[in-house]
Chain A
């Protein structure tokens, strides 16, 4: 790909800026060759090779906060847009590419230090290039009694993931990675260093304990935002629990789902079922939906609840299941599971309970081989099976080169899940896609403890197939708009769709975006900081997106 200069910057000025970047971080850590910049593309972009693919003009890799400051000051001098990445592994949400072509990527991977882990007050303080693996290994090597909470791929950055509202798999407060952060250090667009919350107090020792400090709490500006480069961030950690228990609840009728969700909400919100509740349907799965019975069920469009109850009864399997998980002392988890069974049995006739297991923690190496590791705060990469060749998967012959996720925010209620799954079906029908991934047996994911996320699937890129990728962009845009119109906007998206997603948050004539724009103009007058991230453009570029 031809190298893009920052828009409006002459080749001579850019060359001068590159020299200054080299002076700030060392010549070895400024990348301008085509081969090097190829590694700053978004490997999973559905715009790969297309005119609207976002490409960097250069990349700069500082090793210290002072070097980050120097880079920001140089960018201001030349009015060159920057785009910061942490580990650059935010695949499906942009990878290591910028949100505005011609930006200089500030690659923070070299800043990967674990600055502190405290297993008495249960927090960590890390730099952005530190991965979940790095933090996990640091804790393990020192025998510290805390867990991290990681997303599916372990090579990402706790900071980068939290800044894009990433989520995980252990106990309920920790799965919300942004929600469990505490305290930030940020290099502002003018090059100043700011610390948030109690970090603003020169004397306090509570930067990673108490989020708020005094006055307006500004941390949120830096998540899915473009008000600075985060160089340190604290996270609350889960003190290592003594034991874990699980059991799966099955309910017979399709229409039992709402009651099941309500009870699971109670158990998790009351901190009885302290782990992640995982839903599924015994009526779903690829083996079932390929059957003539399923095709008959769907032949006349979306079935009624009564039809689905009848379908479940005919198939003689419980319609829904929920896997509950409990962390804590043995007596507590056993008592909580017993209570969960009593509560649900009393409320939902015919409920049954299977797959009951108890384990002391940490898991033994043998147990690690058979358990879902992220539920135990252990980073791994198993999720990449979705883009690998599964032994008998649909993409076996020609796997996608990546995937582009869409997850709608749905309230934790059965009726809303039913509406959301039909909304996905409606989009796929409208676009004349066989709605095989949108069934009445789709289950939401429960990464966040206060809302469900409902996937809308089928979007994957092929780097060498422009027509395929064009169809994928159209499908993805339809998900963004039509799911929001139905009440289910996405929680996160890739750079190519961020403008469109932000438009869906339009209450009172886009009051929120206008407020953010006013702040942006005041804090970043040269518009150098990640222009366009989540639809927030500096005034110079507003309405003129490249």
Chain B
């Protein structure tokens, strides 16, 4: 699993600055934001210290990327939907996976679209 994530991560690093990689309609992006805010924001919101709650996902990614990428997922410009979907369903280190009763496939795809909205070719 970690190897697969690494491969996808390498693919993601090829993303450049042209057109958005992934086209999503406004409704899907709105659903993605809603579900991200409900499920993910509590660990992955921007600025781990500002909230005073030690947002562990953001802090962990800040430590992992050491400035090469933003720690907050909403600030990323290199995420691709398959990678986001993989992490949601397979988990990542201390982050457990999510079941379909928590995040349905449609909601998962919407979250993936939302987090990939700023990714350019």
Contacts and interface: CB of A to CB of B under 8 A. Distances in A.
Interface in B52-85: 52-57, 59-60, 62-64
Nearest to B3: A464
A35 B89 contact: yes
A68 to B, nearest CB: 14
Task: Place the interface of chain A in its size category.
Answer: 35 or more
Contacts of B100: 31, 36, 39
Nearest to A461: B94
Contacts of B102: 87-88, 109
A40 B99 contact: yes
A396 B91 CA distance: 18
Contacts of A133: 38, 42
A388 B94 contact: yes
Interface of B is mostly: loop
B52 A384 contact: no
A385 B59 contact: yes
B93 interface: yes
A422 interface: no
B119 to A, nearest CB: 24
Contact of B51 (A59, A369, A399): A369
A396 B63 contact: yes
B104 to A, nearest CB: 9
A131 to B, nearest CB: 10
A155 B90 CA distance: 18
B25 interface: no
A39 B98 contact: yes
Contacts of B94: 384, 386-388, 399-403
Contacts of A95: 96
Interface string A262-300: 000000000000000000000000000000000000000
B52 A371 contact: yes
A14 to B, nearest CB: 21
A502 B10 CA distance: 48
A288 B91 CA distance: 35
Interface in A482-508: none
Nearest to B43: A381
A44 interface: yes
A521 interface: no
A28 B64 CA distance: 38
A96 B99 contact: yes
Contacts of A89: 96
Contacts of B42: 133, 154-155, 380-381
Contacts of A31: 100
Interface of B: 1-2, 38, 42-43, 50-57, 59-60, 62-64, 89-91, 93-102
Given A155-B42, A385-B54, A388-B60, 18 more contacts: A31-B100, A38-B89, A39-B98, A43-B96, A88-B99, A370-B52, A381-B55, A383-B56, A384-B94, A385-B56, A387-B56, A388-B56, A388-B59, A391-B59, A400-B93, A400-B94, A401-B91, A402-B96
